[in-house]
Chain A
């Protein structure tokens, strides 16, 4: 069946450093969504990418959808302590399949 993998599983960074998480699907996706889950909270939608090669930015966050629509990345520039949490990608074909998530820890 369809699988969506994310790497790394964990990332610890010093505040101000950059962070990237990568998402890979075993099948071609119609779109991909990204969610953030704060510690103790629930996943919250961040963004959706639809087009091949699409790049979207939200302040310090840059989201990219691969040309083949099978991979995606989230890059955070100059991390802050408020970025702490787990970031999930979710690939959409006929239903949404969540990736395994990347937990980000930011040390001040």
Chain B
């Protein structure tokens, strides 16, 4: 969905480096999410935020941190990247008052490779 953008789209980095993935949305949604996708494991929730002052851990938050800089921006950081963080990362937004409620709108994804 063009209303949700992610940068960078691809990144190759080395073990131990700090990496930030950025997500921006123009949908005006309060809720934003970071997911990780690995083959055979589906989409796993890393962190989510229901508004600017709200940050919550998902099922796999270890090794990650997030920042909700504004309603429209939600960034994901890997403080010290490790090879098993190699994955496809998706940002998503949702609106509880939408129809249907809480439908997730995904960005195009960031493919991260940690060597």
Contacts and interface: CB of A to CB of B under 8 A. Distances in A.
Interface stretch (B10-18, B19-27, B71-79, B105-113): B105-113
A99 interface: yes
Given A42-B90, A98-B43, A92 B102 contact: yes
Interface stretch (A11-19, A43-51, A61-69, A75-83): A43-51
A44 B41 CA distance: 18
Given A9-B40, A98-B42, A99-B42, A45 B102 contact: no
Contacts of A6: 42
Contacts, number: 50
B34 interface: no
Given A42-B90, A101-B42, A35 B48 contact: no
Interface in B27-41: 35, 40-41
A45 B94 CA distance: 11
A95 B42 contact: no
Given A48-B100, A96-B102, A88 B48 contact: no
10 contacts: A9-B40, A33-B100, A42-B90, A43-B90, A43-B104, A43-B106, A45-B103, A48-B103, A92-B102, A100-B40
